[in-house]
Chain A
Amino acid sequence: MKEKGLSSFMNKNGTRSVMASLISILIGLAAGSLIILIVGISNPSIGIKSAWDGIRIAVAGLFSTGRDAAGALTFGFNSTSIGNMLFRATPVILTGLSVALAFKTGLFNIGAPGQYLAGTAATLYIALTIPTTVVPAWIVWILAFFGGMLAGAVWGAIPGMLKAYLNINEVLACIMTNWIAANLVTWLFDVSSLKNVLESGKTGYIYKTTHNGVATPKLGLDAIFPNSQVNAGILVAILIAIIVYIILNKTTFGYELKACGSNRFAARYAGIKDKRNIILAMALAGGLAGTAGALYFLSGNTEFYWTTYQTLPAVGFNGIPVALLASSSPIGVIFSGIFMSMLDIAGLQLTNLTAYNEYITDVIIAVIVYLSAFSLVIRMWLDGRRRKAKAALETAAPAEPVPEEVKAQDESGAGIAPDKEAENK
């Protein structure tokens, strides 16, 4: 009886998604550690002892507290690291939500970097140009926040409209709009008067929002995590994740969005306005990515490097792994976003404390994304193992058919929905 309870727990879609994600994370960490080890062994100036230090930091960098007098690594509660982790998690949770929401509606929002930039630009422009001597700072904050959200939404709606009315693949439209945004933002700030000219050595940066006295309140979080950048933004991000969860799972609108994602034509047959829903889904996704930019730069201690025309913000792209790791579940995104920024902190510690550098954590993230591209295979493998166990119990177990979703995904061609299986509850 007890075994049955366990197997029904293992059968749940959510459990399997979490398992698949955990396996991806473990393989990603193993791959990163392997690279660290190989580099350490083949490079005499690093050596195996430093390699071991590197692996420990890469895995548990969040709890690193530096080195003791003897030069050995020490671990413990590090309030700065944890606070900074929460601060950095804020934008990735939101871009992750952006990508996840699009996935749920059958769209691949690779346009998050562009939407993030659009949001950033609008936010900074509003926060820095409305004088706080006339308008109270908190009103400016709210205006800037919603301005960023709106700009992101507009920028996301463009590929949505191209997809809905002209049937242009949203991946291509998003890539193009990303670069257009990067150039437009550079252009906007190039001709603006917001460049930081007061501090020398800050060429290429826009003023911090504190220049105009606008900053996200800390709400006492700085007392819990002293010496860190944490602010109320993380709470806003978590709140938004919960709102997205409610919209997607508890409202008719969310149901319509998901129906369009599963099969646009069937949804239309059922009387759902598929074009309107595609545009709305992309606008919402864009709004979330725009909010990421807004919250990150409204913190008051972050600076925006405005000549972005050659590079797109990594935060936007990191939304993709965050969403994939969470199997596009809005609540899961909170955790995978925090995990992603934990890796980020580990990367910084790696640069500070060892012969390695922060880019190894990006490699780990890339491996995780690569694995999640065939998460379906991993899940099927998990299924296969379970089926084997079942077959061992019942001698004549009927063969389960291959999940129909695999085929449906091929045929729809409308977009990418790696979580289709999860939809089929």
Chain B
Amino acid sequence: MTFLIRQTLIYAVPLMIVALAGVFAERSGIINLALEGIMIFGAFAGVLFVRLVQQWGIFDAARASGDWVTLQGFMLLSMGVAALLGALFSLLLAFAAINLKADQTIGGTALNLMAPALVLFFIRIIANQNTLQMATGDSASWFMLKKKMLGVSGNMGFFGETFLNKVYIATYICIIIYIVLAIILYKTRFGLRLRSCGENPQASNSLGINVIKMRYSGVAISGALAGMGGFVYAMTTANCTSNGDVAGFGFLALAVMIFGNWKPLNIAGAALLFGLFKCVAASYSTLDINGDGVYFLKEIGINTNFYRLLPYLITIIVLAFTSKSSRAPKAEGIPFDKGKR
């Protein structure tokens, strides 16, 4: 059970944060199909930063003395770098979609093609192979939180073992950021204005809101979140490596966003559900749910591929039932034209 919850969280949190990235863009009126590409780019930026800093040896002393707090700071810094570069990359989409009134779907597709190409090009030049790894050590030994760091050697009980041992603090930081941003989106003036630009930008403009600026902020926040999500994904599930691929997580996040009807609370629920599927698909044959030594899911004998495709299938089914009452932002995908009524 501990393993199941821990693994589910590891998969669910990047999904959640990237789905929120989609929400911020779409609520401001820009369809961000490029989530996958931005994740790939963010993962690359974060991993490259970790690699470079390791090569410069800045945190070697902290590593040697077991100063885990400093190392967590290093991780936070890397997340920040990934977010910043994700935001920068997403500006390409913002520029095309807002200033040039380009087709947002094609613009997003372009970014999805560009990210893996650029990333793999540079990885080949830097590492002379198709995967960029950390310079030394692995993700778990540098960034994972273990109970002995907290000074505990015995059993911490169910709660402690699940949420404090062998986890990444990044997971909790993402959850906090998620909550804060959800509140900003719904309870602040900025959030209300941003959302209004996705519903009726002409009305917002007539009230003196700068639609262009709002849409730029929406896309930039979206890019930052997706970039960070990409790095967190790479760090927690791919041992802090980058290979120009995030296994369709960006598209899955898009599905989560639609499944959650563009609302943060529903999205969190949907992300947990999808995370559970991912977790089950990845480890169903060794999954012992209630700890009685019986591998229940393995005994049912459902093929692992079935669990893998389930999230996408469910999304289509949900879309089929809810498309009539879908709460997609009304103005998404439509370039803003001041004079249009």
Contact = CB atoms under 8 A, between A and B. Distances in A.
Interface of A: 35, 39, 43, 108, 110, 162, 166-168, 171-173, 175-180, 183-184, 186-187, 190-191, 309-312, 317, 320-321, 324, 355-357, 359-360, 362-363, 365-367, 369-370, 372-374, 376-377, 406-407, 410, 413, 416, 418
B305 A413 contact: no
A184 B305 contact: yes
Task: Give the interface size bracket for B toward A.
Answer: 35 or more
A138 to B, nearest CB: 34
Given A166-B319, A321-B113, A377-B100, A184 B309 contact: yes
A424 B129 CA distance: 49
A375 to B, nearest CB: 9
Contacts of A168: 316, 319-320, 323
B305 A373 contact: no
B111 A370 contact: yes
A175 B254 contact: yes
A362 B101 CA distance: 24
B263 interface: no
A162 B320 contact: yes
Closest 3 A/B residue pairs (Cβ): A362-B117, A366-B114, A187-B305
B256 to A, nearest CB: 12
12 contacts: A43-B125, A179-B309, A183-B309, A190-B303, A321-B113, A357-B124, A366-B111, A366-B114, A367-B114, A370-B107, A370-B114, A373-B100
A162 B316 contact: yes
A159 B255 CA distance: 15
B80 interface: no
Contacts of A186: 305
Contact of B305 (A39, A172, A309, A377): A309
A177 B107 CA distance: 21
Given A162-B316, A180-B309, A191 B303 contact: yes
Nearest to B118: A363
A356 B120 CA distance: 11
Contacts of A179: 248, 251-252, 309, 312
A374 B323 contact: no
Contacts of B254: 172, 175
Contacts of A365: 113, 117
Contact of A310 (B92, B245, B258, B312): B245
A372 B106 contact: yes
A305 B100 CA distance: 40
B100 to A, nearest CB: 4
B172 interface: no
A366 B112 CA distance: 8
Contacts of A183: 305-306, 308-309, 312
A373 B96 contact: yes
A312 B254 CA distance: 16
A407 B341 CA distance: 11
Given A110-B109, A357-B121, A176 B315 contact: yes
Contacts of B323: 166-168
Contacts of B319: 162, 166, 168, 172-173, 176
B108 to A, nearest CB: 9
Contacts of B125: 39, 43, 355-357
Interface string B283-325: 0000000000000000000010110110011011001100110
A178 B102 CA distance: 25
Nearest to A417: B103
Nearest to B113: A366
A324 B107 CA distance: 12
B111 to A, nearest CB: 7
Given A166-B320, A183-B309, A190-B305, A373 B110 contact: yes
Contacts of A416: 103, 105-106
B273 to A, nearest CB: 15
B106, B120, B258: most-surrounded residue (chain A CB, <10 A): B106
